[in-house]
């Protein structure tokens, strides 16, 4: 973090922009490149948000030295419906493969292999349907890849369930009715522990060793206000962040003291749409929203009476729908707005 002064502004000289032919939503940074590959630049996958069946995912390569983003047309592919989330395999070296694996959610959970051969190409590996009774499944709102046990992916669905997949065997490990209403997001904390948020307004933690029980650690102050996103702090698992529908607040939770947030970040001037913890710091989080702002916050050990101000801010050209903070290049945050993806150097 170069900027620790109050309200420092990230200017356009600290950003790189990719213009897409279509509106963008889902984004994913590749992890550190597998040691055996030809490609040594980080990859970024971006998904279109077109409200019809036919959508696209493009794979870009980012050169941090020349600050250039280049699409690789041979790796672009058609995607049924807009992908609600994209993620690269968190630890490609564990696969004993030389290629990146990309997962996407929408109508199903899909896995794709980015082939690094003499000719770059992308191949679908599997289509995973979590419905036991039908060839169709309820739309998936999100998923999370378990970094500690990368064979596990957890998905969340509008049918109130969370499904835990063993992607190596292509089978459902477990499926839970997680909430009373649609489940909007899911996040792993440990190898067997995940949390989810829902239209029922609750944050719940589940342990695969005790599937009959869950712990509610937060509920919306107004009953049935949906919670849209959940981010679990990988540097300090005591902390989570969530956002409420049509709210300018980011709610910071400490799982040791359920029900009462430890902080509420309230400096956005519009609804918050996305949150991401810093991958390398336990006390920094970024949020972005309808006010076209991306705000980076440093959480104090003790919050003052007047609330918390962001430490730096960036103004985009339109409402920001999505953000990702790169684990492999923690100086870079990606934001998606309109038909643009912008990389911000922090």
Residues counted in the chain: 346
Please report the pLDDT score of residue 1 as a whole number.
46
Q: Are 58 and 20 in contact (CB under 8 A)?
A: yes
Q: Are 29 and 42 in contact (CB under 8 A)?
A: yes
pLDDT (tens digit per residue) in 144-196: 999 999 999 999 999 999 999 999 999 999 999 999 999 999 999 999 999 99
The rounded percent of the chain whose pLDDT value lies above 70 is 90
Q: How far apart are the first and last CA of the chain?
A: 6
pLDDT (tens digit per residue) in 245-302: 999 999 999 999 888 999 999 999 999 999 999 999 999 999 999 999 999 999 988 7
pLDDT (tens digit per residue) in 55-78: 999 999 999 889 999 999 999 999
Of the candidates 26, 97, 28, 96, the one whose C-alpha atom is nearest the C-alpha of residue 62 is: 28
Distance CA 75, CA 96 (A): 21
Q: Is the pTM of this model over 0.75?
A: yes
pLDDT (tens digit per residue) in 305-328: 778 999 999 999 999 999 999 999
Distance CA 196, CA 175 (A): 13
Please report the pLDDT score of residue 175 as a whole number.
95
Q: Are strands 263-265 and 250-254 parallel, antiparallel or unpaired?
A: antiparallel
The C-alpha angle 139, 140, 143, rounded to 5 degrees, equals 175
Please report the pLDDT score of residue 130 as a whole number.
76
Please report the pLDDT score of residue 185 as a whole number.
98
Residue that has been written with the tokens 């994913």 in this structure: 28
Distance CA 278, CA 295 (A): 12
Please report the pLDDT score of residue 224 as a whole number.
83
- Using CA atoms, how far residue 271 sits from 51, 228, 253, 268, in Å, is 22, 11, 19, 7
* Phi–psi pair at 14, nearest 5 degrees: -100, 20
pLDDT (tens digit per residue) in 19-39: 999 999 999 999 975 454 556
**Residue 255, both tokens:** 């799982």
The C-alpha angle 191, 285, 144, rounded to 5 degrees, equals 30
């Amino acid at each position: 973090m170069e900027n620790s002064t109050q309200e420092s502004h990230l200017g356009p000289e600290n950003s790189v922009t990719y213009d897409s032919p279509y509106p963008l939503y889902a984004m994913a940074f590749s992890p550190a490149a597998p040691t055996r590959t030809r490609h040594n630049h980080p990859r970024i996958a971006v998904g279109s948000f077109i409200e019809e069946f036919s959508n696209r995912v493009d794979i870009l390569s980012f050169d941090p030295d020349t600050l250039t983003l280049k699409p690789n047309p041979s790796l672009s592919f058609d995607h049924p419906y807009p992908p609600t989330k994209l993620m690269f395999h968190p630890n490609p070296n564990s696969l004993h493969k030389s290629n990146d694996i990309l997962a996407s959610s929408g109508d199903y959970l899909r896995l794709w292999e980015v082939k690094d051969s003499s000719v770059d190409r992308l191949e679908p590996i599997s289509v995973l349907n979590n419905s036991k009774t039908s060839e169709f499944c309820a739309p998936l709102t999100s998923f999370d890849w378990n970094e500690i046990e990368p064979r596990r992916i957890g998905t969340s669905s509008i049918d109130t369930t969370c499904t835990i997949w063993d992607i190596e065997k292509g089978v459902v490990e477990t499926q839970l009715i997680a909430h009373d209403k649609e489940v909007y997001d899911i996040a792993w904390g440990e190898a067997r522990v995940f949390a989810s948020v829902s239209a029922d307004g609750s944050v719940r933690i589940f342990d695969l060793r005790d599937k009959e029980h869950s712990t509610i650690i937060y509920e919306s102050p107004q009953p049935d206000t949906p919670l849209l996103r959940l981010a679990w702090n990988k540097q300090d698992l005591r902390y989570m962040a969530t956002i409420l529908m049509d709210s300018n607040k980011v709610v910071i939770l400490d799982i040791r003291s359920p029900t009462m947030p430890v902080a509420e970040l309230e400096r956005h001037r519009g609804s918050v749409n996305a949150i991401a913890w810093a991958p390398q710091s336990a006390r920094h989080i970024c949020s972005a929203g309808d006010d076209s702002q991306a705000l980076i916050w440093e959480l104090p050990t003790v919050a003052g009476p007047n609330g918390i101000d962001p430490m730096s801010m960036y103004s985009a050209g339109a409402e920001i729908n999505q953000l990702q903070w790169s684990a492999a290049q923690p100086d870079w945050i990606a934001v998606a707005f309109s038909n643009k993806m912008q990389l911000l150097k922090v």
